[in-house]
Amino acid sequence: MTIPVTPGGQGSSTRPYLIRALHDWCTDNGFTPYLAVHVDGSVQVPLEYVKNNEIVLNASFEATSGLQLGNEFISFKARFGGTAREINVPIDHVIAIYARENGQGMAFPAPAQGVDSPVEGMEAVVRGLRLAPSSGPAVEEGSAAAGGEAQSREQDDPPRNEPPPGGARPALKRIK
């Protein structure tokens, strides 16, 4: 048996294996696996749902058709606004996988970004605005990951001694 080795002798990436393991864990425990994805020209997703070059996808078996969690790509069909769409995501563009219900999961570093990605260029032309860097994954209103953007803003502000609001929904926290 030969093991594929990447340049530098480090072996293959652990990211696809960790994504599959966490997807299995979510499924086995009755949770909904969500994927946060960095979007650029190599990602095939409905661009109208992309915010700050990121999109959050429901990757459960109930929400997808033909789900393939490969070593290089994640692909499936899913409905957006009632229309079936093909989704293809390079593994290195998955920046997090987590359970919608409790926020437990894992975050990964975003891929190295080019100066002018096709999505940024398209949005800038449409809006006529200069885009700001992304502050966190795009999140559906009212989803368990809501608050991730506020959380990343809080990391830039000095810590406060206020207790967290009671009854807050869990959110994925990126640890660097």
For the chain, how far is it from start to end, CA to CA, in angstroms?
35
* Average pLDDT taken over every residue of the chain: 74
Return the minimum-mean-pLDDT range out of 72-76, 156-160, 171-175: 156-160
pLDDT at 71: 95
Q: Is 46 helix (H, G, I), strand (E, B) or coil?
A: coil
* CA atoms of 93 and 139, how far apart (whole Å): 16
What is the number of H-type helices and E-type strands within the chain? 3, 7
67-73-78 Cα angle (round to 5): 35
Average pLDDT score over residue span 85-102: 96
Residue pair 105/99 in contact (Cβ under 8 Å)? The answer is yes
| 108-129 residue pLDDT tens | 998 876 534 444 444 443 333 3
CATH of 15-155, one of 2.30.30.220, 1.10.3720.10, 3.40.30.10, 3.40.50.300: 2.30.30.220
The bridge status of strand 94-99 relative to strand 83-90 is unpaired
The bridge status of strand 64-69 relative to strand 105-107 is unpaired
- CA 18 from centroid of its chain's CA atoms: 14
| 22-64 residue pLDDT tens | 999 999 999 999 999 999 999 999 999 999 999 999 999 999 9
> To the nearest whole percent, how much of the chain has pLDDT over 90?
55
Q: pTM for this one?
A: 0.62
* CA atoms of 87 and 57, how far apart (whole Å): 10
